[in-house]
Amino acid sequence: MFKHTRTAIISILLATSFSTGGTRIATADSKLPDPATAGFAEKLYRLDCGHSLANDESVWTPGENVGRSIEFSSTCWLIKRGSEWVLWDTGVPQSTMNDPNGWSTLPKLIVYHLDKSITGQLAEIGLKASDITYVAISHTHGDHIGNVVLFPNSTVLMQRTEYTWISSPDGPNDNVNQLKALARKLMGTPKQLKLLDGDTDVFGDGSVTLIATPGHTPGHQSLLVHLKNSGFIILSGDVVHSEDNFARNIVPSLNTDKAASIASMARVRRVMATYQAKLFINHDKAQTDTLKLLPAFYD
């Protein structure tokens, strides 16, 4: 359940401390939790949700690395908070597992492979799909929503802007049009869909917060989780694809809005500073390979 009242009270308190106390939380971040009083999630697990090979890195680094191939990781995350579970992104469709030809969102550009299923990884720690309370998705590209249909009893959390966008008329970029068509197919019609309007405190206690970071797609979001020992961690979604792009403010050509993408990267930097947060970058294979993998977890 969403704690609307509590969220509202916290928002009012934050707004108050804002106008009277001149806190360090910038206006644009006013809906985010107070780092000093935010609650905790107990566990954060990384799931292996596929890996991919693209034949032209310059799509992600315009003007550089033309024709060079690049490998990406695909990562899903599972958060335990009390007796509830949040799955963040769902990866490549598991129906394509072990297919030697792989699977693609844009056939001329990128091929994904999946070695492990989400449901198999959940089973490793004793969970079934029906145990997942929320499936929160960063955005509607196929490598992030490929398994939403496996969780018909979970509440899907996504930005309203994103949901509206995938059904909007096609634009000039054919790659983007293809991705939208695939998104409509993979999303289907979730039984329990909660459309969000901007930043959202999922449990009303600051332990898990969805942060609006548009630009890669119109309703893209990232996730801020608070853990007792590990502190605050930001799960990127695709707000950025690599540590190098983040350091140099580089925006992939597939992104729907370059200026918004740069603003969202700036927002992530601000959140990292306010919360002393680490940033886990979904597709950065070099970084991902250094992170714990289920059954290991962050706490």
Q: Which residues contact 47 (CB under 8 A, 6 or more apart)?
A: 75, 76, 77, 78, 91, 116, 118, 121, 122, 293, 294
Q: How far is the CB of 156 from Zn ion (least distance, A)?
A: 17
Give whichever of 41 and 110 is closer to Zn ion, judged by the CB atom: 110
Burial of 284 (0-12, 13-18, 19+ CB in 10 A): buried
Give whichever of 48 and 143 is closer to Zn ion, judged by the CB atom: 143
Q: How far is the CB of 143 from Zn ion (least distance, A)?
A: 5
Q: Which residues contact 239 (CB under 8 A, 6 or more apart)?
A: 213, 215, 216, 220, 222, 261, 264, 265, 268
Q: Which residues bind Zn ion (CB under 5 A)?
A: 141, 143, 238
Q: Which is nearest to 210 in space by CA: 271, 276, 130?
A: 271
Q: How far is the CB of 18 from Zn ion (least distance, A)?
A: 34
Give whichever of 86 and 110 is closer to Zn ion, judged by the CB atom: 110
Give whichever of 109 and 127 is closer to Zn ion, judged by the CB atom: 109
Q: How far is the CB of 105 from Zn ion (least distance, A)?
A: 8
Amino acid at 288: T
Q: How far is the CB of 133 from Zn ion (least distance, A)?
A: 24
CA distance linking residue 16 with residue 144, whole number of Å:
37
Give whichever of 162 and 238 is closer to Zn ion, judged by the CB atom: 238
Residues shown for the chain: 299
